[in-house]
Amino acid sequence: MNYRLLVFYIAATFSLSLACLSFFYENNWTHFAFILVVAFIITFILLSYTIHNYINNRISNIYKLIRNLKLGKDMKVVLAEHASPDPIQNVEEEVRNWATQRTSEISRLQDQEKFRREFLSNISHEFKTPLFAVQGYIETLQDGMIEEDPETALHFLNKASKNIDRLTYLINDLDEISKLETGIISLHIEKFDIIQLIIETKEQLEDKAKRHNIQLVFNVKTHIPIFVKADRSKIQQVLVNLIDNSIKYGKSGGKTTISIFHLIDQVLIEVTDNGIGIEEKSLSRVFERFYRTDKSRSRDIGGSGLGLSIVKHIIEVHEQTVNARSTEGVGTTIGFTLAKTKNT
Question: Cβ(309)–Cβ(324) under 8 Å?
Answer: no
Q: 280-288 contacts: CB < 8 A, separation 24 or more?
A: 280/328, 283/324, 283/325, 283/326, 286/324, 287/311, 287/312, 287/322, 287/324, 288/115
Write down all domains in the chain, each with its CATH number in brackets.
Answer: 3-85 (no CATH), 118-182 (1.10.287.130), 189-340 (3.30.565.10)
Quote the pLDDT of residue 1: 46
Q: What 8-state DSSP symbol labels residue 329?
A: T
Q: Which amino acid is at 269?
A: I
3-class SS shares of the chain: helix, strand, coil, % to 5 = 65, 15, 20
For residues 228 and 267, is the Cβ–Cβ distance under 8 A? yes
- The structure's pTM equals 0.57
As a whole number, mean pLDDT of residues 54-64 equals: 65
Helix, strand, or coil here: 286? coil
Mean local confidence (pLDDT), 87-91: 59
Residue range 206-227: average pLDDT? 88
Which of 75-84, 103-112, 259-268, 324-333 is the least confident region?
Answer: 75-84
Q: What is the overall mean pLDDT for the chain?
A: 77
pLDDT in tens, 269-285: 999 998 888 888 778 77
Q: If you ran DSSP here, which 8-state letter would residue 143 be given?
A: I
CA 256 to chain centre: 30
Q: Is the pLDDT of residue 87 over 60?
A: no
Model confidence pLDDT, tens digit, residues 15-42 = 778 777 777 777 777 777 877 788 788 8
Confidence label for 299 from pLDDT (cuts 50, 70 and 90): very low
d(CA 191, CA 18): 93
